[in-house]
Structure 1
Amino acid sequence: MLLVGIATAGSAPQSWGRLADASSDPLKAMATVDCLLPGQVRRSGRINYIGPALPVKTTAELCEKRGGEYVAYDRASLQSTLRVWQEKADGGDAEAQLFVGQAWERGFDRAPDLAKAAQWYAKAAKNGSREAKLALAAMMETGNGVPADPQGALRLYREAMGLREELVRASDAEARVSQARFEAEAQQAEAEARIARLQSEMAALAAARAQDTRARERKEAELAQAQAAREQAGVRLDALPPSPTRSFSRRAAGTAGAAPSLSVDGTRFGRYYALVIGVQDYDTIAPLKTPLADAEAVAGVLERRYGFRTTLLRNPDYHTLAGELVKVLANREDDDNVLVYFAGHGELDGREGFWLPRDASHDRASGLPNSLLVSAMSQFGGRTLLVIADSCFGAALAAPREISGPLEYFPQDSASFLANKGRYVISAGGETPVVDDGGQGHSVFSAELLRVLERNDRVLTQRGLAEALRPAVESNSTRLGHKQVPQVAPMRDGRGYEGGKFYLVPVGDESSRASLGMRGEGAGTLGG
């Protein structure tokens, strides 16, 4: 039986610590449950008695070891969750109020009640819960459960992040410049791609000695337009101040067997780990064309240019996929960062999304449910976590979109955005199917992801990465007759989302990595 409970945020999680290992049952180690621990044995005078049961969020594995009780995934309901947390919530406990709000927002065995969720988030926010403030701000921004109030949402977001007004003004100004720079660079990249395509088509016409003068003239006019667009983008970029992180000194210091610790001008970003998964050849369902090439290339660029210690999974089965997720998420330090990339089949069944491992069928039970993925990731004890899902319905992992935040690192941001935890999802095309190929041996999304990661020379946030990907993915997929738009959002139900940002820190190519002491343990390669 698959065991899992509600996976929700909390200020004091009972995480894996050092308990997860290769011998653990990966499903029980992944499953975060609402656990009722036995009451403490107390003594009053000469009388011994048992105190009330203690509700905690922990894994099914740890709940069992500590003698607790929990509800299995296939029997979990709104009432079973409220039974655990309602009494503490009524007593004014902010964390319990947050959990109750998340239970109403999710619904479990019934339709979500967003109005009740917002009420409990407001109570938890009033009692100091940062996660509740961020959740309520997202609802205010989108108008879900409460009247839409974008300005109020932004104020609440800034309050939750502890952003001072002078920092907000400086960050807003920098963000406007960054946005303009991103738009100009996207225009330039689009023009360059269009020029290359037109030049190839004109060369083909010349090789065929085509006599269609009008066709050649049309291509020449299109080429002139593309070249003019590239020049206009270049003029816009020259008029903008340079990215603040392009001139910073970067450092990567590490030891054998450990990921290097990255820093920029003395600001530490921590260590980076990646689990890169490509599932292309399925046992019983239709194979895909590009996930293996996508995953291999992504693993390579993350290790070579960004200092990640990577593990690459080629066509893993269910057990291998679950076990390796536990390994990469468990036993992380406070300043560790983890990226999980998945390319393969995805499915959506009602509100539940699934990643399909190699041995999956179209039966719901054979896929890895998003609720279990989020449950596992809620036990992550590091600083930031980023999931990049190049699969159909990838956004089923995500909450409403991110309200605000920088596109790249600014020195004045470090106190707020590096000090807090972040949990994010970048999906290739929202809750829709995505294109498997179309990117010269890669998917449309992963081809652009690789291009951006290879050429990038600034310290990007998760939002900056998504913004850099969006224009080309949208235009290239539209040309193939299936428009897809990458999205970025906090992870739904994710424990530990405090508004911190995931920073991608380029530290150089293969030769510079050697000089910076980044020759640790190489990427692992596992088969399902």
Structure 2
Amino acid sequence: MTSPSTCPVRARLFVVASVFGLTVSAGLPAGAPQAAVRNAEDLLIVDCLLPGQLRKLGRQATYLTARRPVRTTQADCEIRGGEYVAYDRANYQTALKVWLEGAMAGDPEAQNNVGEIYAKGLGTEPDYGMAFQWFRKAADQGYGRAKINLGYLYEQGLGVQKDPAMALNLYREASGIQDALMYASVVQVELRARDERISGLEQQVREGEAESARLREQVQQLQRELAQRRAALQQAQRELVDTRNRLAEARQAQDDDLTRLLENQLLAQEEQLNAQRTQLAALERRAGGAGGGLYSSPMLEILDPVFVAARGRNTAVYPGGPGTRKVVGRVTAPHLVSRIEVNGRQVELTPNGGFSAEIEVPAGGTQVSVVAVDSAGDRAELQFNLLPQASGPAAVAAPAATGELPRGVKLGRYHAVVIGNNAYRDAAFPTLQSAANDASAVADLLRRRYGYQVELVLNGSRLEILTALDAMRKKLGPEDNLLVYYAGHGEIDGEGRGYWVPSDGAANASNTWISNAAVSDILDTMPARHVLVVADSCYSGTLSRTSVPTFDPAEADRGKWDAWVKAVAKGRSRTVLSSGGVMPVPDAGSGRHSYFARAFLNVLQDNNRLMPGQRLFQEVSTALALAAIDSPLPQVPEYAPIRYAGHESGDFLFLPAGRTAATGP
């Protein structure tokens, strides 16, 4: 494995799981002996092939059933006499051995698992062609998770010709929602004006080939620069550790002059190291890593007011009457955008990609035009009508209907494991200032305002963190909800895999960290209906945002809202709200909290209604765009399903304690 490079200076993770009636049994039967946990690896999820059961037919005949595949912990597989390959040594041949027999026999779950094995490319490059074939077999039998996976292949053009319409149809089928269903929670406009000016297929091909050659050269140049930056970063880390060791020796020898000299030197080295981390992450982003690259165009989106640009409805309705209204938006890859104009007036574009403008809205509404111009002079324009609530019949129903919990929908009990790591044993990981503060504040808010039963873990080791997750995996019942919050360092390796760093994690040793893939596997085996991961860090492996259904406010009435909430509450979902790709994030910046944590806390504190995860994403994004203007590092939140964590449909629903179902018709 290539040498890892630091992902965020600071990472946070928050997971919410909600169970509405689905029981997934991956562990031991009730009352069975529990496996002894010897180390953290015993708690990682493996593909396990259990031995067959000895059964008796009448008084005369006995027979042995076929071996049974399950996904469970390594310790559980051992005590049940199963065959497995440990997580870190897994490859597609051994994983296929567990599931292929069931897939060949027509089991849709096994067929989907085989497809995911090929799509993951365990120990080899992904084979999307084979993944497509197995996903199709499972989807044809109505298996929702396979429909989502198949839709992603169609949307991205992996192993099959790209077909966005087919992808949306598969997402819609998986959700089980037919009316008032949208698949874009915000408006996004890609800067493609140059493509529209190309006339003729031959000219398009020629220019495309020239562009590809230019981009390949840029990528090669960036890769060379990345290698140099990584080497410099590793050298700086070694020098930092050496300085810390010398400083400890000087303090022990009570050499005050040398101690002051080394303290100043240490401070300078830490500042230099953080600067190198930021530059390296920026280069990785430009070179095509998660979160955007040379092949990605900037995207323009409106965060507030919220509206859905689909089916020809480019209209936003906001509560309140005529007057001044602030429009808030953002662009991805702001370094590629030269200016933003709102109604013909240029507005300030922050380093985070955020912008805002004051708009005078009369009683009859007004049209808003937002124009983004990239560095090449290409333009993208987004137009929509902005209406006060008092204007138009469509505006009246939306606020009254949305936000209520329909009668008959039970959200169950809530539990939480909140983890905050400030102190690290390895000197290569500097002590954090706000991680424990953020974790403590989140724990208090969840306990006080949302009625969670909270377990707070500070400076947790790898074993302690995995033990806490595994305990909840065993404890959860079909009516429970789970929330897991992680605050601490995060890393990403040379292949783009993200990790949490526990308090006992060692530098340049990913086997001592907790990978995002391992977390996704744990979430997949949890007996939960809805899981939401909120990560102020890199979290790779997400699907596109279009595969999460959301409610169209233009069609909001009580009946449609109630039907939508009931369908979303029943659908199994695994989604992630991240603070923005692989860029480093500041440890502090908004008082005692990070920008992202402060925005997240404020949104949940102010919430007085039933709030879907999509809406949480919108409000956090808006708060960050306005509050993190002075942040030295850009943060562009993202919201999408997690790949290979069991996502099928639906969305997570927040509800403050004490709120009950609607009493209306």
Same fold (TM over 0.5): yes
Aligned to 1:269: 411
Give how far 1:52 is off. 3.9
Aligned to 1:358: 503
Aligned to 1:220: none
User: What do residues 441-461 of structure 1 show as CA deviations (whole Å, max 9, x unaligned)?
Assistant: 211111111121122233111
Give how far 1:341 is off. 1.8
Aligned to 2:177: 163
Range that drifts further, 305-314 or 177-186: 177-186
SS in 2 for 1:280: coil
CA distance in structure 1 between the aligned counterparts of 2:540 and 2:185, rounded to whole angstroms = 28
* Amino acid in the other structure paired with 2:547: I
1:345 aligns with 2:516: no
Pick from 428, 437, 450 the counterpart of residue 306 of structure 1: 450
Give how far 1:102 is off. 0.4
Pick from 610, 635, 642 the counterpart of residue 484 of structure 1: 635
Give how far 1:347 is off. 0.8
CA distance in structure 1 between the aligned counterparts of 2:184 and 2:125, rounded to whole angstroms = 41
Aligned to 1:106: 120
- Does the 8 Å CA contact 1:277/1:295 hold for their aligned counterparts? yes
1:499 aligns with 2:623: no
Q: Which consecutive unaligned segments of at least 5 residues does structure 2 have?
A: 1-21, 188-301, 308-315, 329-354, 367-385, 554-559, 661-665
Aligned to 1:60: 74
* Amino acid in the other structure paired with 1:384: H
Aligned to 2:580: 429
Using the size of structure 2 for normalisation, the TM-score is: 0.60
Identity %: 33
Give how far 1:327 is off. 2.2
Pick from 449, 455, 475 the counterpart of residue 606 of structure 2: 455
1:282 aligns with 2:424: yes
Give how far 1:99 is off. 0.7
Q: Against the structure 1 CA distance between its residues 404 and 244, is the aligned structure 2 distance closer, same or farther, given a 3 Å change threshold? A: farther
- Does the 8 Å CA contact 2:548/2:641 hold for their aligned counterparts? no
* Amino acid in the other structure paired with 2:420: G
Give how far 1:78 is off. 0.8
CA distance in structure 2 between the aligned counterparts of 1:173 and 1:94, rounded to whole angstroms = 26
Pick from 118, 121, 133 the counterpart of residue 119 of structure 1: 133
* Amino acid in the other structure paired with 2:464: T
- Does the 8 Å CA contact 2:85/2:94 hold for their aligned counterparts? yes
Give how far 1:306 is off. 2.1
Q: Against the structure 1 CA distance between its residues 291 and 56, is the aligned structure 2 distance closer, same or farther, given a 3 Å change threshold? A: same
* Amino acid in the other structure paired with 1:333: G
CA distance in structure 1 between the aligned counterparts of 2:482 and 2:151, rounded to whole angstroms = 26
Q: Against the structure 1 CA distance between its residues 171 and 73, is the aligned structure 2 distance closer, same or farther, given a 3 Å change threshold? A: closer
SS in 1 for 2:142: coil
CA distance in structure 2 between the aligned counterparts of 1:314 and 1:414, rounded to whole angstroms = 36
1:243 aligns with 2:393: no
1:379 aligns with 2:392: no
Pick from 93, 98, 101 the counterpart of residue 107 of structure 2: 93
CA distance in structure 1 between the aligned counterparts of 2:615 and 2:419, rounded to whole angstroms = 23
Using the size of structure 1 for normalisation, the TM-score is: 0.74
SS in 1 for 2:643: coil
Q: Against the structure 1 CA distance between its residues 176 and 81, is the aligned structure 2 distance closer, same or farther, given a 3 Å change threshold? A: closer
User: What do residues 57-81 of structure 1 show as CA deviations (whole Å, max 9, x unaligned)?
Assistant: 2322222222111111232111111
Give how far 1:504 is off. 0.5
* Amino acid in the other structure paired with 1:243: P
The size of the alignment, in residue pairs, is 447
Pick from 304, 318, 329 the counterpart of residue 462 of structure 2: 318
SS in 1 for 2:132: helix
CA distance in structure 2 between the aligned counterparts of 1:484 and 1:493, rounded to whole angstroms = 25
**Structure 2 counterparts to residues 8-27 of structure 1, below 5 A:** 13-16=24-27, 25=37, 27=40
Q: Against the structure 1 CA distance between its residues 172 and 106, is the aligned structure 2 distance closer, same or farther, given a 3 Å change threshold? A: closer
Give how far 1:428 is off. 1.5
> Which structure features the higher share of helix residues?
1
* Amino acid in the other structure paired with 2:462: Y
CA distance in structure 2 between the aligned counterparts of 1:189 and 1:137, rounded to whole angstroms = 36
**Structure 2 counterparts to residues 200-279 of structure 1, below 5 A:** 228-229=358-359, 236-238=387-389, 239=391, 240-241=395-396, 242-244=398-400, 248=404, 265-279=407-421
Aligned to 1:82: 96
CA RMSD in angstroms, aligned pairs only: 3.7
* Amino acid in the other structure paired with 2:123: D
CA distance in structure 1 between the aligned counterparts of 2:175 and 2:30, rounded to whole angstroms = 30
1:464 aligns with 2:588: no
SS in 1 for 2:411: strand
SS in 2 for 1:446: helix
User: What do residues 316-365 of structure 1 show as CA deviations (whole Å, max 9, x unaligned)?
Assistant: 12222111112233221223222222221111122432111112121212
SS in 2 for 1:86: helix
Q: Give the structure with higher Rg (CA).
A: 2
CA distance in structure 1 between the aligned counterparts of 2:403 and 2:544, rounded to whole angstroms = 34
CA distance in structure 1 between the aligned counterparts of 2:33 and 2:361, rounded to whole angstroms = 55
User: What do residues 25-51 of structure 1 show as CA deviations (whole Å, max 9, x unaligned)?
Assistant: 274663222211223446899886655
SS in 2 for 1:330: helix
CA distance in structure 2 between the aligned counterparts of 1:247 and 1:360, rounded to whole angstroms = 43
* Amino acid in the other structure paired with 2:95: T
* Amino acid in the other structure paired with 1:413: W
* Amino acid in the other structure paired with 1:488: Y
* Amino acid in the other structure paired with 1:318: R
Range that drifts further, 333-342 or 97-106: 333-342
